[in-house]
Amino acid sequence: MELDFERCYRAVDSRDQRFDGWFYTGVTSTGIYCRPSCPAITPKRRNVRFFPSAAAAQGAGLRACRRCRPDAAPGSPQWDVRADVVGRAMRLIADGVVDRDGVPGLAARLGYTERHLHRMLRAELGAGPLALARAQRAQTARTLIETTGLGLAEVAFAAGFGSVRQFNDTVRQVYGTVPSQLRTGRGNPPTPGGAGTITLRLAYRPPLHAAALLGFLAARTLPGLDEVHDGTYRRGLRLPHGPAEVALTPTPGYVVATLRLADLRDLAPAVARCRRLFDLDADPEAVDQTLAADPALAGVVAAEPGVRVPRAVDGFEMALRAIVGQQVSLSAARTTLTRLLTHLPRPAPGPGSGSGPGDQEVCVTESASRRRKPLDHPDGAGRCGAAGGDAGAGGWGVWGFPGAEEVLGLPDAAFGMPAARRETIRALARAVAAGEVDLEPGGDRAETVRRLTALPGIGPWTAGYLAMRALGDPDVLLPTDLAVRRGAAALGLPATPTTLDTYADRWRPWRSYAAIRLWRAA
């Protein structure tokens, strides 16, 4: 990735927060790397290098600044915009695929050889997939060190490291200190939610229109799955190693995320999905600048800056919602989905034998630290932290949406919808279960849309809606959507699908954000 030195240096000199996460500033005279907005004295030009990723800066031998915390900066918005292999790879790495399946698993998901994938990532980001995943593990480890009372050996395996030694070496290189020093002086106060709860801040680029985001989600909540109350969105999650519960509260400058995890290895995937749900890595100023250039949208953009696209934590859940919502009102779709959920099994709690998700079991000790897989873990993948236990009695308040296999096991009577729509859901569930349709953000957007529209009962509207919310495509309009057309008419825009679609070319590449504003105008 080419970084223009003059433009980057001007951003650093002005401490422009908009560029946090876009690039990182390396200072060769001090051996540290920073956010562009770091409040420290602007370094001299001859001592500055710019890096496209934190992993590239770490690979150059630099450590993270302790003042501006570059590891906690918002993610680069280009991974939301870009649908190419590098963008897909970054989304999958953020979701923990390398930690779970290794580089071979990542390459297989993307359909490339490991060597070619490494070459592409090095060219774009200055670091390969292992280095990028390592940088993420270091950030996860720091979060666990500073927000939990887990032993450092437990933190090492929960963050995805293969050994305590590897963990110590990485923390020392990235942060310039040993792990125990990151905890010194913090006292490890208990978090309000109990021993199994982690609370952290999710940074974003302002502005963020929280009311629009929460209002959109509140209109679509389902009992037992999610809810909005007193400015907080709360929902259940299905994560790779077990269920989880999250509460997200937008505040100025960051979103407070309170997580209860059945397995602490799921911290990084949980954070990635929460960021994706609230669209926290977007560049709202770039979006609003493009949309405000249209006089028809200038007023609503000025009145409500920072409107985001609410996305999804579970692609299959979003697909089921979209199919059920075809040609019916929002309230009717919620009724049908609520009835369907009553027939679906709740996901099993995470592996382990605790009395509830708030219990923390010591499952890794120093004597076992040389092992890649703790002895007591049934799949040998390095579990530690909160045990799942009897979630039905132990206190999960909300649950993640069941998967495709559970939906395939339902009898006809459970669906409560026309036979054709019921068969559409089953066809989709079979395709997802077989791996023929990938509804996660790392999937190929164009190929996924093509495979979706090949299924019976899924047309351009449903596929486009899923591209927008499940796959994260920022440039989907949905011109045939009734509410989009009503919003367009309310703003004096063309309201027929063909004319609106043609007119909307001026909103590229942010037509998904325009669609949200048209929905609000309706």
Element (H, E) at 198: strand 197-203
Q: Give the Å distances, CA to CA, from 74 to 83, 147, 213, 256.
A: 19, 19, 18, 14
DSSP 453-514: HTSTT--HHHHHHHHHHTS--S----TT-HHHHHHHHHTT---SHHHHHHHGGGGTT-HHHH
Backbone angles phi, psi at 260, to 5 degrees: -120, 115
Lookup result for tokens 């849309």: 449
Q: Report the C-alpha gap between 78 and 83 in whole angstroms.
A: 9
Q: Report the C-alpha gap between 438 and 452 in whole angstroms.
A: 10
Q: Report the C-alpha gap between 481 and 461 in whole angstroms.
A: 7
Centre a 10 Å sphere on the Cβ of residue 45 and count the other Cβ atoms it contains: 10
How far, rounded to the nearest angstrom, does the alpha carbon of residue 364 sit from its chain's CA centroid? Answer: 28
Classify the C-alpha dihedral 499-503-509-510 as positive or negative.
negative
Residue 503, both tokens? 């007119």
Helix orientation angle between 85-94 and 129-147, rounded to the nearest 10 degrees: 30
Q: Report the C-alpha gap between 54 and 51 in whole angstroms.
A: 7
Q: Report the C-alpha gap between 437 and 108 in whole angstroms.
A: 15
Q: Report the C-alpha gap between 468 and 89 in whole angstroms.
A: 19
Alpha helices by DSSP H, 126-266: 129-147, 152-158, 164-175, 179-183, 210-218
Q: Report the C-alpha gap between 73 and 67 in whole angstroms.
A: 12
Residue 135, both tokens? 């940088």
Enzyme catalytic residues: 34, 481
